Amino acid sequence: MTTDGFGAQYRPLEERSKQLDDELTKLLGELDFLKIKFISSDEVLTEAKDLYGRWPSLEAEAKRKIIENITDRITIGKDDVTIDLCYLPSSSEMMVEKSRNLRDSWHFCYVRLKAPKPPSAKYPKELKTLGDHIRKRRLDLHLLQKQVAEQIGDDVMTIWNWERNESSPQVKFFPPLSNSLVITRYLCRPHIARD
């Protein structure tokens, strides 16, 4: 067999062998990275459990620093709050990552917590009285007491008294209350004081 013939027959195999070696090196690097990631996740879990146990005894400043270090972003929406938490790798882990040249892996642990926005402290805890219903509905509609007072043709102190259960609305206010706050069902109950 001639040199050219030998080269023509074995050169493609040699190139494929080189490609496989390159791919194997890349896969071994990714495997090492995943091992580090797994170890880091276990370490994070262990540290989180330890932190949970120590949290009540930590000072406020220490708690604040911890929260600042693990919080990536807090998004306050109209009806909910989203907190993005992350664990950033140590500098030695980052060096391993750079040597492996892997992308999109800066966060070893990433968690998104999403919950409804807690109601205002002014929000009634229980709906027992008409005043409670008025306050709840007003807050649900994002209205000020002044705005409700203008809509029903009375003053702010009247709304304030109703919401604090100092007094109850007179029957003449039922139609405007029904129109502005849409609380008709409660207004029709027989136990409402009718002045």
Return the exposure string of 66-97: e unless at least 16 CB atoms fall within 10 Å of the residue's CB, then b.
eeeebeeeeeeeeeeeebbbbbebeeebeebb
pLDDT for the residue 186: 56
Q: Which domain does 140 fall in, by range?
A: 130-187
Final residue of a domain: which of 90, 116, 142? 116
Q: Are 66 and 51 in contact (CB under 8 A)?
A: yes
pLDDT at 159 (0 to 100) = 92
H or E stretch at 23: helix 3-54
The predicted pLDDT at position 166 comes to 93
Q: What is the pLDDT of residues 61-92, one digit of tens each?
A: 988 888 887 888 888 888 888 888 876 555 55
Rounded distance between C-alpha atoms, residue 107 and residue 96, angstroms? 14
Whether the model pTM is above 0.85: no
Q: Say what the pLDDT of residue 78 is.
A: 80
pLDDT digits 0-9 by tens, 112-157: 888 888 777 788 888 888 888 899 888 888 889 999 999 888 999 9
Q: Are residues 112 and 162 in the same domain?
A: no
**Does some domain include residue 58?**
yes
pLDDT, residue 107, reads: 45
Give pLDDT tens digits for 92-113: 545 555 554 444 444 456 778 8
The domain that contains 152 carries what CATH number? 1.10.260.40
